């Protein structure tokens, strides 16, 4: 077996979901349910969106970021200040370069860990999964009948659109 064949065989499992949707880029694979994303949006707006912004684009310290820092609880402002006014984005090129080639289960695990410091109102064992379902929805993934789980192995780039729209409140 030559190197090309070996490389093809190693990368084919990652490429199959992309090939399956190549003819219809507006219709990525389904990865979560509508109900999960709806609950995730409510959870996100109750806590996460205050620092990461409702647009999911994070904070850079630029003027006009919303919600305004002055409106946030002191503990949130302190955390943002400790990070020089920056909060990482949850969508976009920077985010995709870190998470796009990983399975959704890895991202659910990361979100689960991250929200321990700032748990959303009404948080429970499904919170991280529901948040990720909302993030996937914002990035253009379509809902389906099968729920996202903490063990869903689907590669994130196989279910999202390349250029996610801006989330709205």
Do 63 and 35 contact (CB within 8 A), yes or no?
no
Comparing 22 with 41, the larger pLDDT belongs to 41
Answer positive or negative: Cα dihedral of 35, 38, 44, 47.
negative
* Domains held by the chain: number: 1
* Structure confidence at residue 16 (pLDDT): 42
In a domain, 121, yes or no: yes
121-134 per-position pLDDT tens digit: 889 999 999 999 99
Residue 151 lies in a domain: yes
- Distance, in Å, from the CA atom of 5 to the CA atom of 45, rounded to the nearest integer, reads 47
In a domain, 18, yes or no: yes
Q: Is residue 73 part of a domain?
A: no
Predicted pLDDT of residue 121: 86
- Give percent helix, percent strand, percent coil of the chain, each to the nearest 5: 50, 5, 45
Q: Does any domain span residue 10?
A: yes
Report the CATH number at residue 53: 1.10.760
Domain that holds residue 36: 3-59+89-158
pLDDT in tens, 138-163: 999 999 999 999 999 999 999 998 65
Secondary structure (3-state) at 103: strand
Q: What is the CA radius of gyration of the chain?
A: 17
Q: Euclidean distance between the first and final Cα of the chain, in Å?
A: 53
Does 46 reside within a domain? Answer: yes
pLDDT band at 56 (very low <50, low <70, confident <90, very high): very high
pLDDT in tens, 81-135: 999 999 999 998 899 999 999 999 999 999 999 999 899 988 999 999 999 999 9
67 occurs within a structural domain: no
Q: Do the domain assignments include residue 25?
A: yes
């Amino acid at each position: 077996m030559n190197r090309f064949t070996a490389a093809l065989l190693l990368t084919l499992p990652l490429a199959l979901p992309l090939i399956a949707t190549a003819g219809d880029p507006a219709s990525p694979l389904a990865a979560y349910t509508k109900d999960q994303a709806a609950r995730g949006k409510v959870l996100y707006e109750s806590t996460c969106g205050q620092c990461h912004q409702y647009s999911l684009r994070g904070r850079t310290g630029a003027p006009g970021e919303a919600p305004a820092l002055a409106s946030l609880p002191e503990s949130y402002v302190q955390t943002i200040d400790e990070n020089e006014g920056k909060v990482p984005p949850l969508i976009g090129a920077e985010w995709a370069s870190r998470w796009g080639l990983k399975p959704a289960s890895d991202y659910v695990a990361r979100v689960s860990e991250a929200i321990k410091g700032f748990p959303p109102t009404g948080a429970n064992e499904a919170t991280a999964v529901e948040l990720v379902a909302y993030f996937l929805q914002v990035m253009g993934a379509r809902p389906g009948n099968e729920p996202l789980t903490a063990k869903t192995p689907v590669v994130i780039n196989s279910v999202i659109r390349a250029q996610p729209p801006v989330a709205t409140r």
